[in-house]
Structure 1
Amino acid sequence: MTDKRVLFVASEMVPYLPENEVSSMAYESPRMVNDRGGQIRIFMPRFGNINERRHQLHEVIRLSGMNLVVNDMDMPLIIKVASIPKERIQVYFIDNEEYFKRKATFSDEDGNLFPDNDERAIFFAKGVVETVKKLNWNPDIIHVHGWMASLLPLYLKKYYADEPLFTGSKIVTSVYNKGFEGTLDNGMLDKIKFDGIDQKDVASLETPNYSNLLKVAVDHSDAVVVASEELPDDLKKHIDSLTKPVLPHVPIFEFEEAYINFYQSKVLS
C-alpha cells in the first residue's frame, strides 16, 4: 500500500466515540494502511458528545466557511481537526451547529432517532467531498464505514460525477449489522432528488430504513466488504446478487492481510 491514498469516511470511530463494531474497524483499517506506508485521510461527523477539550479538536479556518445546500437550505460547514497521538493519525470532523451540536449521536435519550438524521447524512456526504476538494487530495480508494456515511457513494457517483479529482477513485463500502430500528424521515427521497439525483437511483429509499440505505450505498460502490458476521436477510441477499468484488466477513484479529489483498487484487486492479 506504499504511497496509495485511502480516504476513510466513518459514522463513528474510537477513541472519539464508544467502541463498537463500526467505530473499532473505522479506527483499525486506517491505522493498518498508515502502518504499511499508505497515505490516509479520515473524516467523521463532529457529534456533540465528542469531548473537544479532551481530544484537542480545533477549527481549521481555511477549510471552514462555505455553505452547503440541504433541501434548499444554506447550512454553514465547519471543519475541525484532531490527532490520535500514539498513531500520528489526523482526523477531520464535519461540523454544523444545527446538525451536530446536540449531545448525542443518532438518537435522543429515549432512543428515538433524530428526525433530521437524513439531512445530517446528506450534509456529511457533501461536506466530506467539498473538504477533500479544498485539500486537493485525490484518493485511490474511498472506504465508507457506518450508515451515516452511506450516502457518500451515491453522491460521488451522481451529484459529483463530473468532479475530476475523483475520476480514478474506487469506492469500497463496509456493511455492518449495526444499524438503526425503524426509518429515517419519509421525505428523504425528495431531499435527495432535490440535488438532481434520479429517482431510479434511490427508489428503495421510498422506505428509508437501514437495509435500503445500505443497498443504495453498495449499488454505487465499486467493491463491498461484509464487515459483520450476521447481516439483515434482505441486505445479505442483495449483496449476494452483486457482480462486483465482495470480501466476505473476516474477524477483526485477521483483517489486515485480507483487506490489503482485497484492496490490491480486487479494488485497484
Structure 2
Amino acid sequence: MYDFKPSSTMIKAKKILYVSSEIFPFLPQTDMSYVGRHLPQAIQESGGEIRSFMPKYGCINERRNQLHEVIRLSGMNIIIKDIDRPLIIKVASISTARMQVYFIDNEDYFQRKSTYRDANGEFFADNDERGIFFARGVLETVKKLRWKPTLVHCHGWLSHLLPLFLKKAYHDDPLFTNVRVVVSLYNDLTTESFNEKMRSKIIMPGIKAKDMDFLEEPDAVNLAKTAVQYAHGVILAHPGVDSSIAKYAGSLNIPVMPYIDPQDPKSNYIKEYNNFYDQILETQ
C-alpha cells in the first residue's frame, strides 16, 4: 500500500490510461519502468480506475510472466503503408499489485528479441512504423474495451504519437471526447532518426502533413516535440531531458512539472503526479 490520500472529490471521475514503452518487471528497472509499475497501482489503490499498456517485445518471457492472448480484443488489422498488420492483444497480471497490463503485439513489429535496436546496436529501420502501430493499437483496444479515460499519461518514445492521434484522428469518438493528455519526457532516445517517410505513414483521416511540422525532420527530438505539441501537460521525468524539448514545452501555455526522482526513498512523486493530474483535469 502507498502512503497517499487524495481527496474523494478528486478521485470520483479519475480514469487514467497509462501508455508506456517500458514497465517493470517485464523489462529491467529504470525510472520509466519503475513509474510504469508503481504509479498506476497507487492511483488504483486510491480509488481511481486505470488501464496500462506496453509493447509485447520478444524479450518478454510469456510463460514466466504468464501472458495470455485476449481473443475478444485481438483480430483487427491496422493498415500501415497499405499493408494490413494484425493486432494481437495479450494480458498479464501483477499479482502483488492486483493490476493488469495489456500488451500490444504483432509478429512483424514486436517479436524480435530486443526492444529498439538489433544485435549490432543499430536502431531498427522500422521503429517509426512500430510507434504508429503501438499508438493506434492502444486506442483501438481501448475502444474495444468500451472504457472512457479522463486522462492519458504517455511514457517513452513509443507513446509519443498518441497525443497527435487523440487530438486529430480520434477526437470525435465519444470515448475520447475531452480526454486530457500528459506526456512524461525521459531520455530514452536522443540522437536517433526515423525513416524519412514517417509523416506519410502517419497520415489518416483527420491527420494531415501540416499537423506534423516537426516530423518534416523525423528524429527523436522532433517526435518528442510532436507529443508535447498536443499535450495538456508535461512532466520532466528525467534529469537529462533534451534542453530544446524542455524549452519548447515551457514556451507553451501548459503546465510543466520539474523532475522528481521516483526511486529516491524520500520521493513524494506519486502525490505530486496526482496533484498534477488534478491541475490538468481542472482546466477542462
Tell me the TM-score normalised to structure 1 length: 0.96
Does the 8 Å contact 1:71/1:194 carry over to 2? no
The count of corresponding residues between Structure 1 and Structure 2 is 269
Map of 1:43 onto structure 2: 53
- Stretches of structure 2 that go unaligned for 5 or more consecutive residues are 1-9
Write the letter of the residue equivalent to 1:148. L
Map of 1:69 onto structure 2: 79
Q: 2:88 aligns with which of 46, 54, 78?
A: 78
Task: Assess, with a 3 A threshold, how the Cα gap between structure 1 residues 196 and 166 changes in structure 2: closer, same or farther.
Answer: closer
Mapping for residues 5-16 of structure 1, pairs under 5 Å = 5-16=15-26
Map of 2:122 onto structure 1: 112
Say yes or no: does 1:265 pair with 2:279: yes
Over residues 137-167 of structure 1, what are the superposed CA-to-partner deviations in whole Å (9 max), with x where a residue is unaligned?
0001110000011101101111112111110
Mapping for residues 144-223 of structure 1, pairs under 5 Å = 144-193=154-203, 197-223=207-233
- Stretches of structure 1 that go unaligned for 5 or more consecutive residues are none
Q: Calculate percent identity across the aligned residue pairs.
A: 49
Write the letter of the residue equivalent to 1:147. W
Q: CA deviation at 1:39?
A: 0.8
Map of 2:248 onto structure 1: 238
Task: Assess, with a 3 A threshold, how the Cα gap between structure 1 residues 98 and 121 changes in structure 2: closer, same or farther.
Answer: same
CA RMSD of aligned residues (A): 1.3
| SS class of match (1:43) | strand
Q: CA deviation at 1:33?
A: 0.6
Map of 2:4 onto structure 1: none
Tell me the TM-score normalised to structure 2 length: 0.91
Q: CA deviation at 1:217?
A: 0.3
Does the 8 Å contact 1:80/1:92 carry over to 2? yes
Alpha-carbon distance between aligned partners in 1 of 2:204 and 2:40, rounded to the nearest angstrom: 33
Alpha-carbon distance between aligned partners in 1 of 2:187 and 2:228, rounded to the nearest angstrom: 14
Q: CA deviation at 1:194?
A: 5.0
